[in-house]
Amino acid sequence: MDGVIPLNKEIGQTSSDYVYKLRKVLHTRKIGHTGTLDPLVDGVLPICVGQATKLVNTLTGSPKEYEGEITLGRSTTTEDREGKTVAEQKLDKPFTIAELNDIFQKMTGDLTQIPPMFSAVRVNGKKLYEYARAGIEVERPERHIHIYDFHIMDEPIFDQNSGLQTIKFHVKCSKGTYVRTLAVEFGHLLGLPAFMSQLTRVKSAGFSIEETYTLGQIEKMMAEDDHSFLRKIDDVLKDVPSHELTDYEWEVRVLHGGFLELKNADTTKQLRVMKAGTTKALYKYDKIRDMWIPDLMLLNNK
């Protein structure tokens, strides 16, 4: 069994929980996920199976899209609704859409983030959340991210009694972005405490949430010997530029991990090399050698 499952992760489960459960359901140990989702976040979690586990790093590095909510007027220890309240500042009146749009625009493009203490980033061999649970604050490394799009989705909701304003948003972001931290930074730019009150990943590795399957659906389909939930490697890589190999390129070069001389390929992008319409490897251009060199081998893909 080789391919990628567009899984719909439910709230309350970790990404690792699903890997563990799917190993039992699919009767295979060769499974890996393509980017951790916190237990409070649901949505698209592509799962690689068999030969496709070689694609984990490639798919993890692709941009992701989320829909969620920012709540203004309160901040928490974990930057989401699970944490304890750190600060509160009631709003006297709601911000207008124009005022909010100005902040969304300011937070689009190249940004620098400090990972939250309640995260799985490692510092000196330990995960940050381990320090946080022990009450220890440590210096955290900066990370550079890119926000492709960040915009408001619906009319904001203002609660006169609590003094809180909730904004629904859509964001397309690079690998390594902490959307929780985006919510906090959004509040900072308005001079207010803020936290992420809800989040759903709606797109990852080219899969949209409409294409996903729940674990329950996969279990039922497996019982019926139906594997249509599994997407082929070639389908997953369909948007990567391709080159059909000659017999010589395949038998003499690629089969032995050799370099390729290709004159018309786009050197700025990864290239999938194919034999009889099936992806056999991903190659990348090497400027120094002026040759295409192997980046990822998928020789057993059928």
Tokens of 255: 């089969």
Neighbours of 116 (CB within 10 A): 20
* Cβ atoms of 135 and 143 closer than 8 Å: no
DSSP letter for each residue of 186-226: HHHHTTS-EEEEEEEEEEETTEEGGG-B-HHHHHHHHHTT-
Catalytic residue chosen out of the listed positions 2, 38, 80, 234: 38
Could you confirm whether 286 is annotated as catalytic?
no
Contact assessment for residue 115 and residue 135, using Cβ atoms and an 8 Å cutoff = no
Cα separation, 229 vs 250, in Å, equals 31
Q: 67 has which bridge partners?
A: 170, 200
Positions annotated as catalytic residues are 38
